[in-house]
Amino acid sequence: MTRQQKNTRSPEGEKRMVKGSDLLHQFGRPIASDAKLNQIAARITAAKRPLLIFGAAASRAAASHLGLAADMAQFVIRTGIPFLATQMGKGTVSESSHLYMGTPALSEGEDVHEVIDKADLILPIGHDTTEKPPFIMRKGGQEVIHIAEQAPPVEPVYFPQFQLIGEIGHSLKALADRLEGKLPNAQALLYLRKPILERTAARATEDRFALRLVNDISEVMTPHDSILVLDNGQYKISVARNYQTNAPNTLLLDNALATMGAGLPSGIAAAMLNPLHRVMALCGDGGFLMTSQELETAVRLKLNLVIVILNNKDYGMISCKQASKDFKNFGTKFDNPDFVKLAESYHAKGTRVDPRDDLVPALEAAFEGGGVHVVEVATDYSDYKRGLTDKPRSRKAKPTTRLSDLG
């Protein structure tokens, strides 16, 4: 049985697993008024093809407000509306749900954008405009209702017609009370789930290295408590689309400034806070080398941390962008130190894995051995470039801003 199958729950199973929480108002945050809730509930009831999108602020809140993750899952279950997660919203609601439709890694043109294009009402929950937008709003396009604790700054790509501002758990519970059993069109978009997930997986299969990487990492990470931390590079796109995330804060990535060099320090923080869980930092060679000296910190703190370095001697994301614009490759290639010797010189452990070999035993041994362990994977991106170079599936009016700033 694959990890994906192991984690896929039936609707009944989901109902049994998630219990709502009434603990939220103890924090004294502002809550939405009944009049506003009634107005928004009426708009959702009138929708023909509604869609939820969980964003970075939802994931942050779910990780820090007691009971909120269960409230968000309950909202999905009680309304039956399918959902997407943004890159930083992944794990807010478990992607093992039969209502999960995918994760946009870009702002348009991916397979998953078909469901966004076809929705007539989009409900971003915890949309955070620091994140690169999961979709581009256009004048005359879909209705968007922003559900969050704070109003969004209005941007050319995000100008929701309605807002429901207040403590998210309260808003979702109050909406579910008004909507449960009254949404005949809730699952109007669900027929797209199978083809979209299949097309996304098929695309990943073409990127053989990317698919193997995600599968091998998934194999050694337990679904609800292992923590995967990403630096910033080309591999982030494949992981965001294909790594199944089931709990808030179990996939840590930066889809805002996307700063290279963040992977190892974030991994250190995650390992300090979660000493009993598996923590892995996945880094490109370029990103790793920006903060590699923090290996000393990780060793000094006696952390258990596995660091995977994808060694392609290249700023792969930049090469890929150059290729996608038919530019000649320029200024992206470099040479590397011996990463195994580098790790050993910091008194960490090091292993080198040939890309043709199975990565799983090396990762498993690194976790089992404990301590700080660098696993270098020689990476051939030659069959791993479609993520960015694919032409968008459909291109409508040119967006006004922030589309090409991928990283």
Residue 162 to residue 143: CA distance in whole angstroms: 8
When binding is defined by CB under 6 A, the residue of 90, 312, 353, 374 that contacts ligand TPP is 312
Sequence-separated (6 or more) residues with CB below 8 Å from residue 119? 49, 50, 51, 142, 189
| Closest CB to ligand TPP among residues 137, 256 | 256
Quote the CA–CA distance of 122 and 133 in Å, as a whole number: 13
Residues sharing a CB contact under 8 Å with residue 26, sequence separation 6 or more, in sequence order = none
Nearer to ligand TPP, 40 or 342 (CB): 342
Count of residues that interact with ligand TPP, criterion CB under 6 A: 21
* From candidates 316, 350, 387, 399, binder to ligand TPP by CB under 6 A: 316
Min CB(242)–ligand TPP separation in Å: 15
Question: Does 207 engage in binding with ligand TPP (CB under 6 A)?
Answer: no
Q: Which of residues 250-289 bind ligand TPP (CB under 6 A)?
A: 258-261, 284-287
Query: Which of the stretches 155-163, 192-200, 307-315, 365-373 binds ligand TPP when contact is defined by CB under 6 A?
Result: 307-315
Which residue among 83, 100, 209, 315 contacts ligand TPP (CB under 6 A)? 315
- Using the rule CB under 6 A, which residue among 174, 317, 372, 388 binds ligand TPP? 317
Query: Phi and psi dihedrals of 210, rounded to 5?
Result: -60, -45
- Distant-in-sequence, close-in-space partners of 295: CB < 8 Å, separation ≥ 6: 264, 307, 342, 343, 346, 348, 372, 374
Helix (H) or strand (E) holding 251: strand 251-252
**Interacting span for ligand TPP (CB under 6 A) from 31-39, 41-49, 131-139, 313-321:** 313-321
The single residue among 111, 207, 314, 376 that binds ligand TPP, judged by CB under 6 A, is 314
Do 190 and 82 meet the contact criterion of CB atoms below 8 Å apart?
A: yes
- Give the CA distances from residue 300 to residues 105, 201, 272, 361, in Å, rounded to whole numbers and listed in that order: 36, 41, 12, 26
**Residue 365 is which amino acid?**
A
234 binds ligand TPP (CB under 6 A): yes
Instruction: Write out the two tokens for 183.
Output: 């949404």
Q: Give 127 or 321: the residue with its C-beta nearer to ligand TPP.
A: 321
Note whether 324 binds ligand TPP by CB under 6 A: no
Query: Of the ranges 83-91, 176-184, 215-223, 309-317, which one interacts with ligand TPP (CB under 6 A)?
Result: 309-317
Length of the chain: 407
Using the rule CB under 6 A, give the single segment among 21-29, 100-108, 227-235, 343-351 that binds ligand TPP.
227-235
DSSP β-bridge partners for residue 242:
none
What is the rounded CA–CA span in Å between residue 79 and residue 182?
Answer: 8
Distance CA 280, CA 259 (A): 18
Q: Which of 44, 310, 348, 353 binds ligand TPP (CB under 6 A)?
A: 310
Q: How far apart are CA 390 and CA 362, in angstroms?
A: 32
Question: Based on CB atoms, which residue is closest to ligand TPP, 344 or 380?
Answer: 380
**Continuous segment of H or E residues that includes residue 114:** helix 113-118
Residue 36's nearest CA partner among 153, 247, 178 is 178
Kindly state whether residue 158 participates in binding ligand TPP, applying the rule CB under 6 A. Answer: no
Q: How many CB atoms lie within 10 A of CB 357?
A: 12
**Pattern of binders to ligand TPP over 33-72, x per CB under 6 A?**
----------------------------------------
377 binds ligand TPP, rule: CB under 6 A: no
Task: Give 83 or 288: the residue with its C-beta nearer to ligand TPP.
Answer: 288
**Choice between 75 and 288, CB closer to ligand TPP:** 288
Nearer to ligand TPP, 105 or 260 (CB): 260
Interface contacts to ligand TPP, rule CB under 6 A: 231-235, 258-261, 284-287, 310, 312, 314-318, 407
